[in-house]
Amino acid sequence: MAQSETVFAETHSAVDLQVFFAEQCGRYVAWAQQEQAHREARDAALLALAFPHADFRRGQRALAEGVYKAAVSGRVLLAQAPTGIGKTVGTIFPMLKAMPGQKLDKLFFLTAKSSGRQLALEGVEKLKTPPGSLRVLELVARDKACEHPDKACHGESCPLAQGFYDRLPQARTAAVQSGLALERAAVRALALAFEVCPYYLSQELVRWADVVVGDYNYFFDSSALLHGLTQQNGWRVGLLADEAHNLLERGRKMYSAELEQDSLRGAKLVAPPSLKSPLDRLQRAWTKLSKSMAGEETAEPYQVLKELPEAWMQALQQATAAISEQQQAGSAKPLEPALQSFFFEALAFARLAEQLDANSLCDLTLRNSNAPGFAKSQAKLHTTL
């Protein structure tokens, strides 16, 4: 890693610094008062919240009571109910009712499918809380929220990334004051009105939301946004996992990583000259690994490895370290999309490799290319659950 540092020195008078300090404190106090007032109004609205229908469906009351008791006692509840019982409202309603008494900061409703997110948003809307009393936010994947998929995700390429943090405060304030459920379309409209990225605006709004609806991976992934913010801020949260039987297979995917040799080739095509040596070294190690396994008498297209190939893994770590160091250089340009994609995939693979144990599986898939005596390969790391 780079050991150099850049020092920026500025000189200001004591009076100017005092004014600046007072302004920052004033902004923070105003924000704290705003959030305290909102929390009090939210909790009052939730305490007065009534079930949105004249009566419960058959079995729905028992489900709601089970969810409420689990929330109050801090237990984990696994509920199985037939289709048509009204599971969405039957679980969201009691969780919201439990929030004031349990002093919960947020409720996360996690789903495996986009249709589940829509049902959750509709369920919250049916509860008809007073306008602005409950801030609801939907999180969507970056590729679905991106307005400029042809551009790299940095200020020198994407106009919505350039000056993002300069325009964020106004966009955030407008979102909070709108009183709207901030589902995908509403977040997009606000983001475009203030010329900021919809995806990153939604991530910034998590701190201000009461109910967040999103995919499983936002909480259960190894680098999950919601879990990380919860730990960082010490939030008390309620968690609803819709169709939890899907979580096992999704969990396997979240704690698995894979790399393809074609991805490395794509990265090499756009990499700067300073990265040529480490990427070439990794390419040679990969080709050697593929050829050695393809040349075995008992070679199979798919092979389970007893351990990670040491030379290949060392070359991978050297390549990721070189890319990181190149990025930390003061004059470094943002990574090209193909190189950035490979870098993130390689980092994920390397991190997971550090956790390789008896619950993990490492395999290699060989795919023959048109070139004689050459084999492409796809290295995979799976964590078995």
Under the banding of pLDDT at 50, 70 and 90, the label for residue 373 is: very low
CATH 3.40.50.300: which residues of the chain?
29-253
Q: How many CA atoms lie within 13 A of 101 on its CB side?
A: 13
Span between the terminal Cα atoms of the chain, in Å:
35
Look up the CATH architecture of domain 29-253: 3-Layer(aba) Sandwich (3.40)
In the chain, ranges of CATH 1.10.275 domains: 257-383
Contact 206, 137 (CB under 8 A): yes
Please state, in angstroms and rounded to a whole number, the distance separating the CA atoms of residues 231 and 76.
19
pLDDT digit string, tens, across residues 32-59: 999 999 999 999 999 999 999 999 999 9
CA 238 – CA 127 distance, rounded (Å):
18
3-class DSSP state of 111: strand
Q: What is the DSSP letter of 53?
A: S
At 96, the amino acid letter reads: L
On the question of pLDDT at 2 being above 60, the answer is no
d(CA 198, CA 208): 16
* pTM of the entire predicted model: 0.83
Asked which of 134-148, 308-322, 332-346 is least confident by mean pLDDT, the reply is 332-346
Structure tokens at 59: 């079995």
**318-to-313, 336, 351 alpha-carbon distances in Å:** 9, 19, 14
Mean pLDDT of 375-380: 61
Distance, in Å, from the CA atom of 181 to the CA atom of 210, rounded to the nearest integer, reads: 11
Rounded CA separation 187/201 (Å): 8
To the nearest 10°, the Cα dihedral for 31, 37, 39, 43?
Answer: -170
Higher pLDDT, 384 or 341: 341
Q: Is the pLDDT of residue 198 over 50?
A: yes
Alpha-carbon separation of residue 154 from 2, 159, 270, 328 (angstroms): 22, 8, 17, 15
pLDDT band at 368 (very low <50, low <70, confident <90, very high): low
Q: What is the pLDDT of residues 282-321, one digit of tens each?
A: 999 988 888 777 665 555 778 888 888 899 999 999 999 9
CATH fold of 257-383 reads Fumarase C; Chain B, domain 1 (1.10.275)
Tell me how far apart the alpha carbons of residues 116 and 242 are, in angstroms, rounded to a whole number. 7
